[in-house]
Amino acid sequence: MIAIVLGTRPEIIKMSPVIRECERTGTDYFILHTGQHYSYEMDRAFFCDLALPEPKYNLDVGSGTHAEQTSRILTGIEHVLMKEQPDIVLVQGDTNTVLAGALAAVKLHIRVGHVEAGLRSFDRTMPEEINRVVADHISDNLFAPTETARQNLLHEGIADDKISVTGNTIVDAVFQNQDIAKKKANILDTLGLEPNGYFLVTAHRQENVDSPGNLKNIIRGICAIHEEYSQPVIFPMHPRTRKMVEQFNISLSGISVIEPTGFLDFLQMEANARLILTDSGGVQEEACILGVPCVTLRNTTERPETIAVGANMLVGTRCEQIQEGAKEQLKERNPWNNPYGDGRASVSIVRVCNSLPARIKTE
C-alpha cells in the first residue's frame, strides 16, 4: 500500500497524476492531506477540478513557524502511519509536509519515496533547500526528474541504485489537464484578455514578500514593464503577498490584481500569456513546458534546466534587472525542447513502488 502525503496546492497538482495512475492500475493507496497552506475545505476545489478522490485523512495543521508547523505535521502523520502501516510513503517537493512526512516514515522504518528528488538551488538560506536535502538523504527511493537532479544526488553520496530518473510529474499534470482546461476554463473571457496579449505575475516567497525593499522593487519593475509595453499585467495575488503590499503601502499602478485561481484557470492563463514573471519553482517548470518565456524574480533556482534551454532567466529583485530580463525574454527565439520528460513520470513512479517487496507489518 502507498501512502500519498501532500499539503499544498502545488503538491496536489504534481501528485494528481500519481493518484490517477494508482487508480488506473488498481494499486492500493490512500491520500493524507496535512493542510499546510490551507484547510482541506479551501483545497476541495482543486480535488474537484482535477477529478481526484477526497483524502482519507485531513490534518488541518494550518500556518505557524517552521518548527510549529513541522511538529504538528510530524505528530499527525505518525499517528496515521502507525494505524495504516503502508509499504511506502510518497512525498513530493520541498515543503514542511515533505520534511515531516519523510521523517515520520523513516523513524517508523517505513520506506520513503521522494518525488522530484535532487533539485538544488545551493542556497541554504531557503527553507525549501533544507527540506529537500534532508528528505533526499533519508529516502529509500529517489524519483529524480532529470539527469541534472540525479547528478546532484550522486555528488552528495546517495547510492545510484536508489535513484530513478522519471521525468517530472508536472509534465503529466499539464498534459492531462490542458484539454480539460480548454473545455472548462473561461478565465480569459472573464478577464477580457486576448491570447499572447498580457503578462502574468506570481510572487509569494518569504524572502521576497516579507522584505519591504524586495517587494517594492519587484512591484516597481512590474509597473515599469506595464508602462513600456502597454499590455495588461495580471497578478493573482497570494494572501500573504496582499497582506504585505498593504502593510508596506505599495502602489500597484497598472497592475490588475485578482484572487488566486484554481489550477485549470491558472493553466489557461499560463498557456496564453506573452510572458510570465514569477518566484515560484513550479511556475518556472509549467512555463517551460507550455512554451511561454519566463523571468524568475530570484537570484537562484533549483530548476537550472529551464535556463539551460532558454525558457527562463534569473533576474533577482532589482527594478532595472526585471525590466532587462523582460526585454531579453520577449525577443524572438526558436522553440525550446521540454527537459522534464514525456508525461509518463507517474507511470514510472507507481511501477517502481509496485515492484518493491511488501513491508513486514509491526504491532
92-126 pLDDT per residue, tens: 999 999 999 999 999 999 999 999 999 999 999 88
CA–CA distance from 98 to each of 4, 88, 108, 122 (Å)? 11, 14, 16, 18
Give the mean pLDDT of 41-67: 88
For 333, other C-beta atoms within 10 Å of its C-beta total 11
> Which has the higher per-residue pLDDT, 11 or 179?
11
User: What pLDDT is recorded for position 44?
Assistant: 84
Q: What is the pLDDT of residue 363?
A: 54
How far apart CA 29 and CA 88 sit, in angstroms, is: 10
Q: Where are the domains of the chain?
A: 2-168+342-355, 185-329
CA distance 174 to 290: 8
Mean pLDDT, the chain, whole residue set:
94
pLDDT for 24: 97
Task: State pTM to two decimals.
Answer: 0.91
- Give the pLDDT score at 32: 98
Across 268-274, average pLDDT: 96
**Residues of the chain above pLDDT 70, percent:** 98
| Confidence (pLDDT) at 239 | 86
Strand, coil or helix: 241 = helix
| Core vs surface per residue 191-208: b (16+ CB within 10 A) or e | eebeeeebbbbbbbbeeb
**What pLDDT, on the 0 to 100 scale, is given for residue 248?**
96
Model confidence pLDDT, tens digit, residues 209-265:
999 999 999 999 999 999 999 999 999 998 889 999 999 999 999 999 999 888 899
Higher pLDDT, 332 or 141: 141
- Give every CB contact of residue 25 below 8 A, 6+ residues apart in sequence: 350, 354
11-36 pLDDT tens trace? 999 999 999 999 999 999 999 999 98
* 185-329 under CATH 3.40.50.1860, yes or no: no
pLDDT tens digit string along 82-99? 999 999 999 999 999 999
Q: CA-CA distance, 334 to 237, in Å (whole number)?
A: 31
Asked whether the domain spanning 185-329 has the same topology as the one spanning 2-168+342-355, the reply is yes
Tell me the residue ranges of DSSP E strands in 88-196. Answer: 88-92, 111-115, 141-144, 163-165
Check: CB of residue 200 under 8 Å from CB of residue 277: yes
Question: Which residue is associated with the grid cell 496546492?
Answer: 9
State how far Cα 280 lies from the chain centre: 7
Looking at domain 2-168+342-355, which CATH architecture does it have? 3-Layer(aba) Sandwich (3.40)
Give the active site residues. Answer: 204
**Mean pLDDT for the stretch of residues 57-65:** 88
Say what the pLDDT of residue 362 is: 57
CB 74 within 8 A of CB 100: yes
CA distances from 342 to 133, 168, 169 (A): 26, 9, 10
Scanning 85-138, the segments in alpha helix (DSSP H) are 96-107, 127-138
Which segments within the chain are labelled E, that is strand? 2-6, 29-33, 57-58, 88-92, 111-115, 141-144, 163-165, 199-202, 233-236, 255-258, 275-278, 294-296, 312-314
